Structure 1
């Protein structure tokens, strides 16, 4: 099985063909710290209007890319893997210099199902599917509902708390661990791993700054990097141990499906096992967690929508689709052009990188009327592409839907006056909208 990291090609400094649209020089989507204020909705709107297929330079890495922000263009790139490959160049914006790459994390992030095309992708996806069907999800609902109740019981006497710490990070970890078959005693470890994975970009950026002479090494940064490396190593060691156990003694769980997956009749090589573990730990937690927190912010900012949902529970399923449209927890995915092509009138050369901005697409007025307005009765909310589109559409989207529905069904029943206080902390990360803290207040039980 060919390893993606063996043939990663980073891209080019400038476009091959002339630009149809201008580069908006005051828009920098590579600045991870800008995303601590949330996604740049105003920049997305300008790009859709003035430069929907915009060449975005990367001065520090020398690797530019085409930023795509209109709904139809993002949908088209997602739906055409023959022209826009996940495998040829990887899905991440920039890999950075080798000196700053965590060897295992780099290898795992580039060698996984999400970085494959065609038959190998389909074969691996098929191995996972029994744990993501509607039938399986129905069987999971009662366990998820019970965990929501337990978490809210712990919150009930507090009156104020960090929703991320008490609820949003815990429910997805419970659900994932139930699916994987992780022993209860090991589940707390997942929360620490997720925290450090979300900080990976910041760690790499601080190391790059030191290499470029833009910052001095400090004991605090060195200690944090050491702690980061220790936690990442622990995560992979645990995954390798558990996957080896399931390969030797399969159980009826997702862990066994991953451990015993085959491509062309052969078990996955070790780098792909690491990649499968990283993908399921990160993707299985992060998007749901951030949607749970983002929903609380949306309902607080839009009390009329909260009142409508509380008055009519039948709106909940559609409300969740609208929440995922508005939050768009995965910020982007990258593809590489396999041949000369065209998007929105802009010629794209073979080998050039194309990045799809899901939040921008989900706020496109051409698809969603008055797209910046949160409307839980929106007729086409389910058409959002927060979980992607086409062959790479997120395999866990129904699991996320289940958790959001069960969470807000019980949250509003138990704490009808619950609200975001305005206090919030977002990680410096331009790949996922990572809410690390979100303070809420409510009448305690």
Structure 2
């Protein structure tokens, strides 16, 4: 039977690094200030990290949390990703920290610790294997036909919103939820509820800080917070009801694969099923949604690249890889050292946290020449780490890329003049680059 990580989760009990930092620079960037991420990722901070302290000790605000090693270099992050037996996902989960267990949301916190990406070894491989039939090229080809049709419908809807709209509300958030509902076999009529739940999950870090009492919300945020805990409860009730239905009445959908998964000869514990529901919901939405929105910003800021793409749409797949490289929709993943070890010359003590910053690695000049430039013909754009690397590489990456390509193949054909016209707004979240507002102008 799988161990439940949330039952063993504890804070470290020490403060600061247990080995001298190889790069003793401090105050380069505050990576734990999730409110700072509401303006986007700290690109200038990443640049300084790569130049001054590619392995950076980051202190944490909670007294009981020790801090962590932040990794910015591409090569170091690949090395960590290749050694899951030394750098564990399961030992402490993949988020930086989970707050005070006494104050955490009881459903969100446990589900975040007990899910497939927070498993090591054979259980992780076994679960991936059982989900794989819904991520094969043949299945994705069938799914693409439905996605193309939905993109066309959404674009017809967009035309009625001209000349201005929030692309996130009207398009970027809608497409991945449609695709996820198709994958899971969820009723498309429930999509408005799914949209609200996605917003609630993206705000979980911020709302969790309010819940723990160390953040005073603005009146607007307090209004958004009202009813949040009840909605999270409804989110899990909905997912578990669907899972229970698939146990009794399995279908040809991913929800049935999740509901009937067997690991080490046993059915998945209920807490892992809650974790699976939360994981597939977030993973199936965030990368696609935020890459669609973020690519609009890049095309607007780089009109020469947009003109080149409009002139030759054969460049679109590579342009998407380049956009994903610069957007890096998943900001970080954490690992925990299972033994005393070393990465990039830095000594790491057993039980210390290592956090891989994909947005920094994807701008590493040692890997990507002129790394801050958006170049749709970049020869190694597909080598980006936006979907992770190694045994934990994102299972749904091909579905995400397929959706983004379908979206931009039709968007650019129908609205070649569409461009960002205003300020991008992101949720205060330092785990995913969650774009909530992308104002655009276009001719209908």
CA distance in 1, matches of 2:342, 2:218: 47
1:146 and 2:173 correspond = no
CA distance in 1, matches of 2:82, 2:416: 41
Please list, as runs of the form range in 1=range in 2, the aligned pairs for 1:60-99 lying within 5 A after superposition: 60-61=62-63, 62-99=65-102
Q: TM-score, normalised by structure 1?
A: 0.96
Question: Is the 2:17–2:66 Cα contact (8 Å) retained in structure 1?
Answer: no
3-state DSSP of counterpart to 1:366: coil
1:197 and 2:201 correspond = yes
Query: Could you say which residue in structure 2 is the equivalent of 1:264?
Result: 264
Question: Is the 1:9–1:88 Cα contact (8 Å) retained in structure 2?
Answer: no
Query: Could you say which residue in structure 1 is the equivalent of 2:4?
Result: 3
CA distance in 1, matches of 2:395, 2:301: 30
* Correspondence for 1:25 among 21, 24, 27: 27
For structure 1, the 5+ residue unaligned runs are none
* Correspondence for 2:18 among 16, 19, 22: 16
CA distance in 2, matches of 1:164, 1:411: 14
Query: Which moved further from structure 2: 262-271 or 325-334?
Result: 262-271
In the TM superposition, what is the alpha-carbon distance from 1:226 to its structure 2 partner? 4.1
CA distance in 1, matches of 2:387, 2:140: 17
Query: Could you say which residue in structure 1 is the equivalent of 2:108?
Result: 105
1:287 and 2:291 correspond = no
4+ runs of 1 displaced by more than 6 Å?
217-222
Please list, as runs of the form range in 1=range in 2, the aligned pairs for 1:167-182 lying within 5 A after superposition: 167-182=171-186
CA distance in 1, matches of 2:417, 2:128: 42
3-state DSSP of counterpart to 2:227: helix
Please list, as runs of the form range in 1=range in 2, the aligned pairs for 1:225-304 lying within 5 A after superposition: 225-304=225-304
CA offsets, 1:119-178, max 9 Å, x none?
Answer: 010111111110011111111111000000000001113221110000000000000101
Computed over aligned residues only, the root mean square deviation of the Cα atoms, in angstroms, reads: 1.5
Question: Is the 2:206–2:429 Cα contact (8 Å) retained in structure 1?
Answer: yes
Query: Could you say which residue in structure 2 is the equivalent of 1:397?
Result: 397
Question: Is the 1:10–1:89 Cα contact (8 Å) retained in structure 2?
Answer: no
Q: TM-score, normalised by structure 2?
A: 0.96
3-state DSSP of counterpart to 1:354: strand
CA distance in 2, matches of 1:27, 1:410: 39
Query: Could you say which residue in structure 1 is the equivalent of 2:312?
Result: 312
CA distance in 1, matches of 2:104, 2:432: 19
Query: Which moved further from structure 2: 58-67 or 403-412?
Result: 58-67
CA distance in 1, matches of 2:264, 2:28: 48
CA distance in 1, matches of 2:165, 2:111: 35
Question: Is the 2:25–2:52 Cα contact (8 Å) retained in structure 1?
Answer: no
**Structure 1 residues 140 and 349: CA distance shift in structure 2, 3 A:** same
Query: Could you say which residue in structure 2 is the equivalent of 1:336?
Result: 336
Query: Could you say which residue in structure 2 is the equivalent of 1:441?
Result: 441
- Paired positions, count: 440
Query: Could you say which residue in structure 2 is the equivalent of 1:42?
Result: 44
Query: Which moved further from structure 2: 65-74 or 226-235?
Result: 226-235
Query: Could you say which residue in structure 1 is the equivalent of 2:164?
Result: 160
Query: Which moved further from structure 2: 324-333 or 3-12?
Result: 3-12
3-state DSSP of counterpart to 2:90: coil
Question: Is the 1:79–1:391 Cα contact (8 Å) retained in structure 2?
Answer: yes
In the TM superposition, what is the alpha-carbon distance from 1:49 to its structure 2 partner? 1.3
Query: Which moved further from structure 2: 97-106 or 426-435?
Result: 97-106
